[in-house]
Amino acid sequence: MKTKVLMAILAVVIAGLIAVPWIASYFYVFIFTEILILGLFAASFNLIFGYTGMLSFGHAAFFGIGAYATALVLIHLEWPFLVCLLVSMGASALLALMIGFLSVRLNEVYFAMLTLAFGMMVFAIAYQWRSVTNGSDGLAGFTLGSFGLGLDLTLANPSVYYHVVLGIVAIAAIVLYLICRSSFGMILKAIRQNPERVSFAGLNVRTYRLVAFVIAGTFAGLAGGLIAPFLRVASPELLHWSMSAEPILMAILGGTGFFLGPFIGSAAFVLLETWITTYTESWMLVLGIILAMMVIFFRKGLLGTAIDWWMEVKK
Amino acid sequence: MKSISIKKLMVAMTATATLGTAGISYADDPIRIGGLYILSGSAATYGEFAQKGIDLAVDEINGSGGILGRQVEMVYEDTQGKASVAIQAARKLVYSEGVDALVGLDSSGVAQGMVPTMPELQKPLIITHAATPDVTGKLCNSFTYRISVNVAQNMKAAALVAAETDATNWTTIGPDYAFGHQSWEFFGNYLKEINPDVNLMSETNFPRFGAEDFTPFIDRVMDSDAEGVLISVWGGDLVNFVRQANTRGFFEKDLEVMFTVGAATEVLTALGEEMPEGVHLSTRYWYEAYDNDINDRFVKAYLDAYGNPPSYNAEGAYAAMYAYKQAMEAAGSTEGPAVAKALSGMSMEAPNGTVTFRKGDNQAMVSPNWGVSGPMHPEHGIRTLNNLQIFDGEKVARTVEETGCKL
């Protein structure tokens, strides 16, 4: 019975998301596009944070390089959009392999500091290599061409772009979910709980951590490849450490222990920001208060708290 | 499976919650105009001054019957000086707040990112401050207009001023983004044209926008054999820069110092006597430079309301509101494409004289002002400008062909 109810809710939610351009005010097409993209970014981060227990402060490096890769390809080569996304994923996977190789050998605060340092190095390169990245102004003024696969889609139309993002994020989320549910995902969870024990079981913890890091980076790159055409600019802010903080906040806000937690966190983050900035410019103050409350009183995040409550009531 | 579905429920709840805020009516509501300015951080005074200019214009317009018989209402968003933030803010203003037109933009970097998206929004934008030549050049489009002086116009004027001095070795200190780099590029090209003997030093200085500490750059210029220095640092940065330069003895050195936006009254008010005498200062509008009724009225109203003289940013924002009034009344509607079309080639009377949006690139032919800082003004608490030069906006502008704009 419970499963049936939940499946029905799931179907309604998916239908609702598909119908956003027709049922919500036009502005929310942009809001939901942003929620989906940042949700994927946060979900990719949660693979290493919530599942594997590695707190990275440099995840924006992969998000940003994905954005720059798509922007550069659109400006100089004008390849189809799907190919841009593949380039973004390839570029971020390569970068994640390099940074991960040097970082995963360390634990806890040392890992966090190292990823922060590498993230800032990538930021500095984007900021200073003016001839390629256009420095602090970032890359702008690119046009969206064809989608690829012979599909005739007008990507510059925000509703069309929203549906494209919805489709791609849904596929990416399913793949990430399958990874989390696989035996590989189980080992990651075990590493978070007790790395020594996993090690004694004969598994190479470092390799597992590296693979998780690269997968997370690749999906962050995909999210970055989606954000550049949406924002119409790939700027160094996308690579800045403060951008690395966003998936952390979103994951904690939504609930790190659940696969869809980061998506809920992203929705809460973006919607609150939109609504609060209408009334006051001090949105960060409000966010800070909410986060402090979450960590003190609702450590499982919005989703975890909601599920606990539902389980209590629905007994 | 169970847990996933509940999470989806949360998405559904948020989705339904958003529906409540949808829906905008048009009928006989006020005309809404969206303002996009920097309202936080080290350059926030520029946004504040623009708001003051706009408030003044809106009060006057509403007091005399509004536009097309409708009142005018402003909605502001903070761009934070970032292109991505500004683009999102513009979408919010157009699609959520239902604004009919947009004014604003303080930063060249923001303008470069945002202007290419204007045709999608189908609403006119009048830029009142951002100066990059590109937005009325290679990135131009039929929805984007600029009522303020651009870098090309101001640097042509700067080169004419620089050519009058004895300095041959020139360098620059400018913010590390489009504005700083393009100021130096255009200045250098024009100066070389006028006087091929000048030496543009390869050692240039581009501190980060919003950098607190400028002393390494100040020291570097003082240690070099530069004889002239073009400084395009602006806003709160410029205030910090001048204070630090004073303590280093920068202004005692035998240098020709040219501040490309140094006569912004925001900066002069903040600095008072700390702004040295005898340096070249420029602004896109100097409140004492224009002898006409509109300017007299504007300056008096501004002084009465706020107690300090209007800056170029206040003047640009003020004039932009009247530009919309005239264009909407000429078009007989507030429809974006119709208003944008009415702006093309339009001439209007503004505090800085007759302003015309050139048909070929939508750049207003307005005049850069250059002068040399003099004694303190007895009432206004800021430096006065001596040897004031008002350059002809059209003569210092690039030709339409040179801009690369194709409309």
Q: Would you kindly state where each structural domain of chain B is located, as residue ranges?
A: 31-150+290-366, 152-284+368-390
Instruction: Give tens-digit pLDDT for A142-165.
Output: 878 788 877 777 787 888 899 999
With 60 as the cut, is the pLDDT of residue A115 above it? yes
CA distance B395 to B407: 21
Chains A–B, number of C-beta pairs less than 8 Å apart? 150
- What are the structure tokens assigned to A6, written together? 């939940």
With 70 as the cut, is the pLDDT of residue B353 above it? yes
Widest Cα–Cα separation across chain A: 63
A24 contacts B19? CB cut-off 8 A: yes
Mean pLDDT of B282-304: 93
Mean pLDDT of B341-354: 93
For the beta sheet containing B31-37, the strands, ordered from the edge strand earlier in sequence to the opposite edge, are B72-78, B31-37, B101-104, B125-127, B144-146
A268 contacts B18? CB cut-off 8 A: no
With 50 as the cut, is the pLDDT of residue B101 above it? yes
Write phi, then psi, for A256 (nearest 5 degrees): -80, -20
Give the number of other Cβ atoms within 10 Å of residue B303's Cβ.
15
pTM: predicted TM-score of the whole model, two decimal places: 0.80
Q: Please report the pLDDT score of residue A315 as a whole number.
A: 56
**Tokens 């001023």 label which residue?**
B161
Beta bridge partners of B173: B205, B231
% of chain A surpassing 90 pLDDT? 47
Residue range B152-284+368-390 forms a domain whose CATH class is alpha beta
Chain B environment of A307 (Cβ under 8 Å): 3, 6-7
Chain B environment of A7 (Cβ under 8 Å): 1, 5
Q: Please report the pLDDT score of residue A3 as a whole number.
A: 67
% of chain B surpassing 70 pLDDT? 93
Instruction: Give tens-digit pLDDT for B320-344.
Output: 999 999 999 999 999 999 999 999 9
With 70 as the cut, is the pLDDT of residue B369 above it? yes
Chain A environment of B117 (Cβ under 8 Å): 232
- What are the structure tokens assigned to A137, written together? 């102004």
- Domain spans in chain A, listed from the N-terminal domain onward: 27-240
Instruction: Give tens-digit pLDDT for A167-189.
Output: 999 999 999 999 999 999 999 99
Chain A environment of B5 (Cβ under 8 Å): 5-7, 9-10
For residue B286, the surrounding DSSP H or E stretch is: none
Give the number of other Cβ atoms within 10 Å of residue B337's Cβ.
15
Minimal Cα–Cα distance from A202 to chain B, Å?
31
CA distance B320 to B316: 6
Give the number of other Cβ atoms within 10 Å of residue B221's Cβ.
23
Write phi, then psi, for A285 (nearest 5 degrees): -65, -45
CA distance A279 to B97: 13
Minimal Cα–Cα distance from A101 to chain B, Å?
32
Q: How confident is the model at residue A1 (pLDDT cuts 50, 70, 90)?
A: low
The chain A residue lying nearest B79, using CA atoms, is A281
Q: How confident is the model at residue A2 (pLDDT cuts 50, 70, 90)?
A: low
Is the predicted ipTM greater than 0.85, yes or no? no
With 50 as the cut, is the pLDDT of residue A288 above it? yes
Q: Please report the pLDDT score of residue B12 as a whole number.
A: 47
B5 contacts A6? CB cut-off 8 A: yes
% of chain B surpassing 90 pLDDT? 68
A3 contacts B3? CB cut-off 8 A: no
For chain B, the average pLDDT equals 89
Q: Of the CATH numbers 1.10.287.3510, 3.10.180.10, 3.40.720.10, 3.40.50.2300, which one belongs to the domain with range B31-150+290-366?
A: 3.40.50.2300
